[in-house]
Amino acid sequence: MHREPALSRVAGSLSYVRCVYALLARRFTPSRTPDRYFEIKFTNGLGERDPEKSMIVRKIVSGGRSGVERAALDLAIQLGISHGGWVPHGRVVDDGRLASRYRLTETGSTDGPQSDEANLKMSDGLLLLARGALMGPATRMLTEAQARHHPYLLIDLDRHTRFQSSLLINSWLKSEHIEILCISGPTENEDQRIYRDTIECFRTAWWALMMVEPVQSSYPQTNRAGRPHTMDEAVARLLQELPLKDKVTIANMGADEIPGLKASLGRYVQKQFGLWEGNEDLMQSCRQAADHPQLADEEIAALIIDRLARELRKTHKLRVL
């Protein structure tokens, strides 16, 4: 009887971030599914959804200013998440009139603080991203959130790496049960890099979510005869068995994101390729390739994944035209 390749179960980790394609392609087009939920799903050992570990961001709201707020809206559009919020009358923001593709509602006033307050009220929590001291309208939103005892999280990108920031964001979203998320921070006039950094921070956050739950597989281990004996064979096996969407995903991960596959693909390599049972041929091949005689199982798996990523970047790297 035909059996689905065991590695497809690794998609139980990677497939939870199907939305990554639009994000990687950087194509800002209006969502055709405005009421779609962005849901990161985790399963128990039976493959059933675990509500305690699953997380939903149902809507992203912001005031539409350049920088962090604009990045939040573009991110929502890319991922197909519902977005919205309030904007001053005339849709006037710091860099001109806000484009009509952003589904924000005009207030009856040209007063920015009024729309900021409305955005805060409609959300379950406020996320603020900045580099160093917070500045501009976002400072006012922080003060308002503190006065209202409204859940908020302030991330200083100068003090935390993207990966650390993503873990803080994910932990806060889960602990506060955030479904409608308001996002704010500096404008591009205040920080020219903040738009890009906001996109990259959230991209890393989606990846961090898939590290939480180890891969669960109901398929039997590969028999000894079928296990790879060299690093080249191991990489070739992964290239053969990985679903296309996962090849594209890995090819477009940053170098600092690849180690995050340790809890999913790394465990698969260790188990199915016999590292836990002492596949000496494969272990020796990898140690020779690394010119290191004392590599542990986890380090060997990481070496194989790193070689896999390099190969996939040659053939599956998305390029913006």
Distance (Å, rounded) from C-alpha 109 to C-alpha 88? 6
φ, ψ at 111 (rounded to 5°): -80, 120
Helix then strand then coil, % of the chain, to nearest 5:
50, 10, 40
The pLDDT, as a whole number, for residue 286 is: 93
The pLDDT, as a whole number, for residue 14 is: 47
The pLDDT, as a whole number, for residue 59 is: 93
Tens digits of per-residue pLDDT, 141-179? Answer: 999 999 999 999 999 999 888 778 887 888 888 888 899
Cβ neighbours around 267 below 10 Å, total: 20
Burial of 108 (0-12, 13-18, 19+ CB in 10 A): exposed
The pLDDT, as a whole number, for residue 319 is: 61
Mean pLDDT by 10 residues, the chain (321 residues): 47 42 35 35 40 65 96 86 94 94 93 93 96 91 94 92 82 88 95 91 67 38 71 94 80 78 79 88 92 88 93 80 44
pLDDT, the chain, mean:
78
Cβ neighbours around 166 below 10 Å, total: 25
The pLDDT, as a whole number, for residue 207 is: 60
> 40 vs 71, 125, 278, CA distance in Å?
21, 18, 35
The second-level CATH assignment, the architecture, of 31-209 is: 3-Layer(aba) Sandwich (3.40)
The pLDDT, as a whole number, for residue 198 is: 92
According to DSSP, the residues that pair with 128 across neighbouring strands are: 154, 184
The pLDDT, as a whole number, for residue 95 is: 93
Cβ partners under 8 Å of residue 227, min gap 6: 272, 273, 274, 279, 282
- Domain spans of the chain? 6-12+220-316, 31-209
The pLDDT, as a whole number, for residue 33 is: 32
